[in-house]
Amino acid sequence: MSLFKNLFAKPLSAQLTVTSSNGFHLRPVAQFTALAKSFSCQITATFKDKTVDTKSVNTLLSLSLERGDTFTLVTKGKQADLALEELQTLFNTLMQHDRQTQQIEKISRHYEGTVAEGEIISEGIAIAPTYSYQKKELQHKSTMNFKEALYQSVTELETLSTVQKEENNAGIYLAQKELLASLAEKSHTLSTLEQCVKEESEKLLGTKLASKRSDYQDILQRVKKHMGMEVQVIFPDTPFILLCNDLLPSDIEILAQTDVAGVILKETSIHSHTAILLRAAGICSMIADTTTLPQNETVVLDTHAGVMVQHPSKDDLERAAQQQKQDLTQKARSTQKRFEPALSRQGKQTHVFANVSDTASAKTAKEEGAEGIGLLRSEFLFTSVKPSFDTQQQAFKEIFTLFDDVTVRTLDVGGDKALSYIQIPQENNPFLGVRGVRLFQTHPELLEEQLHAIFSAAGAKPVKIMFPMVSTVEEFIEAKSFARDVAKKYALDISHLRFGIMIEVPSVLFLLEAFNEVVDFYSIGTNDLTQYLFAIERTHPSLKADELSPVVFSAIRAIIEKATKPVSICGELAAHKNAIPTLVDLGINTLSVSPKSIAQTKEAIRHV
């Protein structure tokens, strides 16, 4: 009966728009495909008259979806409604988290030698002889046949994608695993896989995804390795600057264990997986045409300035070495001093807290030297299924025990943030619709359960509770009184807890006198505040508000002048090296930043 019902069920559909400036590229596609495959129903994507199966990375990638493109997702059959809902939620999360790799601004530095410019992958200075990449094919005896090698490679990539701590790195291995799985469907022998890899990589030539060709080579190499055809990469045992067309993502791990001083690649992009891994390994690297560079000649690679210098003069070498020393000292100092307070030159302390989303990121924040949690984004604690009260309480407890000072934000869903278990009716302008604190009106039962979990996890700890997207004083008063009622219902004492708001909506700037009477603290969310000041959606495909605009700083200044309660900043601006001096000068005393930015934010404060 149910088979019959599924067979004739109407297809369900949704329109999805690519908002990431990177497009719908390999990593998010792989995550999307992995989820699609967990459903047995038919799931297709249609764009410009082309319809493809979403359960294969290759076919979905072939739509070449760029920022601004809208495609139709159609599900039909068993659990079609659930599949559509979960895929939509995942897609929104992927788009929101897929930050574009920013082009690194070049500083200008004068060199007397022959200077050639390039595009910066990862900043640093290298002074060493050049070395051209060499590979040697080794033939081992292997007991594995093609099928076994395929299985082994998929398992290996699966393990790599779960053990890698860095989110980006994990995504790379998952992407390669999905890519291999989709090629494996069409390949039954090594030579058909080789043919497939050749054809697919050729299709990418000249497209925005050209740099993904190395992922195809990489997975082929992995399968061959298990069949006994290992490729050995040879590196010198003294410092060197590696010159090559491109590297395979898996080469970086080997390279990181050598004496490599720098890398210059000819054919990759700053968004490629190779580039991501080079940055993660902290290897000074750049994209440039190295055709004219001779082998084994000392050059200067200065990726702060985005240049390589051939025939460097004595002065060039001295200046570069001095800069290199300074970089090393600064890095070592910021890492070494990450647990120390950040005092400006005049001795004024600015506290550096962390923005976290779960226990793992809270633990990382602790290791990185955070003084507390300035923003716990509770909406990212449980993204796929609605957590029970006990699960929530346990998670909050674990995070609260890590720091003395913790600010937890109540569910901030709506706009660009979606959760599969929270339904918000279709809106024309979701960023101006049911968001943040407005969920108290639409989903009181969820907020009640969350607040109950927070209160009981806090126990006697003076945890701070923050409401997002507050635009009027009444909203805050109502949310706080709702919280009090929850505490009363469960007979919990919350007199030691503090209640505050995110400043993300410009109306708050005009209501600060009244807010001062009722809130315990403020935290400025510059991401949303900037979007609402300029009326430019933060995920807009082509428009971008200037995060460093004087308007943003004037707003912050006005808040500091009028607020009589503590003010911190938890938007991205708090970690921006060009903003920190102004923020410190304005008198902000707490910056809350991502765990990875803590040491460098503290160091930047020390230079103000």
- Which amino acid is it at 128? A
Q: Which residue is nearest to ligand PEP (CB)?
A: 525
CB of 429 to ligand PEP, least distance (A): 16
Q: Taking contact as CB under 5 A, which single stretch among the options 48-56, 81-89, 226-234, 498-506 is the one that binds Mg ion? A: 498-506
Q: Is 547 in the site for Mg ion (CB under 5 A)?
A: no
Q: Is 571 in the site for ligand PEP (CB under 6 A)?
A: yes
Torsion, Cα of 548, 549, 552, 555 (10° steps): 140
Residue 79 makes CB contacts below 8 A (sequence gap 6+) with: 39, 40, 41
417 three-state secondary structure: strand
**Is 555 in contact with 562 (CB distance < 8 Å)?**
no
CB of 289 to ligand PEP, least distance (A): 39
CB of 55 to ligand PEP, least distance (A): 32
Q: Which does 73 bind (CB under 5 to 8 A by kind): ligand PEP, Mg ion, none?
A: none
Q: Judging by beta carbons within 10 Å of its beta carbon (0-12, 13-18, 19+), is residue 517 exposed, middle or buried?
A: exposed
**Is 98 in contact with 22 (CB distance < 8 Å)?**
yes
According to DSSP H, which parts of 295-358 are helical? 314-336
Q: Is 90 in the site for ligand PEP (CB under 6 A)?
A: no
Q: Which does 526 bind (CB under 5 to 8 A by kind): ligand PEP, Mg ion, none?
A: ligand PEP
Whichever of 293 and 588 has its CB closer to ligand PEP, that residue is 588
What is the CB neighbour count within 10 angstroms for residue 13? 15
CB of 571 to ligand PEP, least distance (A): 3
44-63 as b/e: b if 16+ CB within 10 A: bbebeeeebebbbbbbbbeb
According to DSSP H, which parts of 8-125 are helical? 26-37, 57-61, 80-97
Q: Which does 364 bind (CB under 5 to 8 A by kind): Mg ion, ligand PEP, none?
A: none
Q: Is 368 in the site for Mg ion (CB under 5 A)?
A: no
Q: Which residue is nearest to Mg ion (CB)?
A: 528
CB of 454 to ligand PEP, least distance (A): 17
- Which amino acid is it at 502? M
Q: Sign (positive/negative) of CA torsion 469, 475, 478, 484?
A: positive
When binding is defined by CB under 6 A, the residue of 570, 583, 593, 598 that contacts ligand PEP is: 570
Q: How far apart (Å, rounded) are the C-alpha atoms in residues 509 and 515?
A: 10
Q: Which does 571 bind (CB under 5 to 8 A by kind): ligand PEP, Mg ion, none?
A: ligand PEP
State which H helix or E strand residue 279 sits in: helix 273-280
CB of 481 to ligand PEP, least distance (A): 24
**Helices 146-163 + 167-184 axis angle, to 10:** 160
Whichever of 274 and 526 has its CB closer to ligand PEP, that residue is 526
Whichever of 387 and 436 has its CB closer to ligand PEP, that residue is 436
Q: Which does 372 bind (CB under 5 to 8 A by kind): ligand PEP, Mg ion, none?
A: none
Q: Is 603 in the site for ligand PEP (CB under 6 A)?
A: no
Cα R_g (the chain), whole angstroms: 26
Q: Taking contact as CB under 6 A, which single stretch among the options 79-87, 124-132, 196-204, 524-532 is the one that binds ligand PEP? A: 524-532
Binding pattern for the stretch 519-538 against Mg ion, x by CB under 5 A and - elsewhere: ------x--x----------
Binding pattern for the stretch 227-256 against ligand PEP, x by CB under 6 A and - elsewhere: ------------------------------
Q: How far apart (Å, rounded) are the C-alpha atoms in residues 205 and 211?
A: 9
Residue 198 makes CB contacts below 8 A (sequence gap 6+) with: none
* Residues found near ligand PEP in the complex (CB under 6 A): 375, 377, 412, 504, 525-528, 570-571
Interface residues toward Mg ion, by CB under 5 A:
504, 525, 528
